[in-house]
Homo-oligomer: A and B are copies of this chain.
Amino acid sequence: MSKDNFVEQIADIEADFPQWYTDVVLKTKLVDYGPVKGTMIIRPYGYAIWENIQRELDCRFKATGHENAYFPLLIPMSYFTKEAEHVEGFAPEVAVVTHAGGEELAEPLAIRPTSETIFGNMYSKWLQSYRDLPIKINQWANVMRWEKTTRPFLRTSEFLWQEGHTAHSNEQEAVDETLQMLEVYKEFAENVLAIPVICGRKTEKEKFAGAVATYGMEAMMKDGKSLQAGTSHYLGQNFSKAFDIKYLDKDGAQKLAYTTSWGVSTRLIGALIMAHGDQRGLVLPPKVAPLQVVIVPIAAKKGNVMEVCGQIQQTLQAAGIRVKLDDTDNSPGWKFNEWEMKGVPLRIELGPRDIEDGKALVFRRDTLEKCPVALDGIQTQIALLLEKVQKEMLEAARVRRDNKIVYAEDVDGILKGVEGGNFVKAGWCGCRECEDKIKAQTAATARVYAEGEIAEKCAVCGKAAKHLIIYARAY
């Protein structure tokens, strides 16, 4: 298969970004469609990315004092009605078990779309005294939300995620927890996924069903749309009231706890693809790439090429680098294309001439540059180069994004901005009517409250602005 044929399999990223995305996720074998509408199989290459994401996040959660647990998949439907906003938000999306063990159930059971209600129920049982606080538990689990329109990783009826649920004795501590976890997500997104994110509070309209305040982390995709990559919710006493999460305080009084919840999901894999990918396919940051280096022998049958390739593989492996030696019968050109499509950060090309010269040619997937690296001490050079790629991918993404944040004075300006693939900052009076109008006229939504100087006027009604908002079309 020639290089051209290979690349032609992927739709033009400029002309048809959605089709490009679908082509990339399927052809790189990240994912496949499940037999039930809206479900996906996360294939080994995609799941390896998720394992790397999990490992990196999990150690951050533990370092901030959280423990993992596992709560049941099935939740009595009646639990959802206990918190009024929550049921309104989630009931329409719930999948319901009505029969089990050959019998109809007395009460239908929901497959968890999120687990605030069942955590709330158990926290109410476990929490006795102020000494039991704070409770800081996370779980890695599958959840289900029945969506009409689905796309692999971005919106599927079942997805994998983590959900943290914490309970605290006072408001300040719960708010601090909410913001701390948002910060953990941000640091992770930037330093591990190499995706610069904008974090901030969400509007009332966009917040989580049942929260007092939702904070979101927004990432710009290459088409200028925003992807909500994580959220952290301050739930106040809403769920404590609904589930009776009370404790005996030092002063002998029964008090309601303050709770939080926060989560990220397999959507992050979609974010990785759309934040970094290019016409050749995936571009993966080294920290989450299943393979960090692929070795492609040139004229493999000549002299000691395979032998030296094998030595390099072992040296890199011993240095803790995830490396593969492609020893298949495919041509070097075919291999180049395949591993470029799969987004492997570095490719080492090695032929008889290179061995004579005591160096290998190293190709960087992110910049498409080639440079020679001495074989002597190659593991040190490759490790440094992986660090450099990781850092420069973030910087490049930051430049791309910062060049696409614009200001607008009115609705027309917002429309032009988002049509041009930008995030648009604009003033907002704070009323729901104006927020709804923006969405109706521009298909953009308020992503988060922006930091910085507030604009003078609301872009819709022209009244005095109370907030600066980042508007964008979103996944």
Contacts and interface: CB of A to CB of B under 8 A. Distances in A.
Interface of A: 32, 34-36, 39-44, 46-48, 50-51, 67-76, 79, 91-102, 108-109, 111, 118, 121-122, 125-126, 137, 141-142, 144, 146-148, 157-158, 160
B137 A44 contact: yes
Label chain A's interface by main secondary structure.
mixed
Given A96-B99, A98-B99, A101-B93, A72 B109 contact: no
B96 A41 contact: no
- For this chain, the copies found in one complex come to 2
Contact of A68 (B35, B40, B48): B48
A58 to B, nearest CB: 9
B34 A118 contact: yes
A72 B40 contact: yes
Max count, chain B CB within 10 A of own CB: residue among A43, A70, A109: A70
B96 A68 contact: no
A96 to B, nearest CB: 4
Contacts of A46: 69
A374 B39 CA distance: 59
B44 A74 contact: no
A100 B94 contact: yes
A160 B140 CA distance: 12
Max count, chain B CB within 10 A of own CB: residue among A39, A72, A121, A141: A72
B158 A72 contact: yes
Contact of A70 (B47, B71, B148): B47
A108 B46 CA distance: 29
Given A35-B76, A39-B73, A74-B158, 16 more contacts: A32-B125, A34-B72, A34-B74, A35-B75, A36-B74, A36-B75, A44-B68, A47-B68, A47-B69, A50-B70, A73-B111, A92-B101, A96-B97, A96-B99, A96-B100, A101-B146
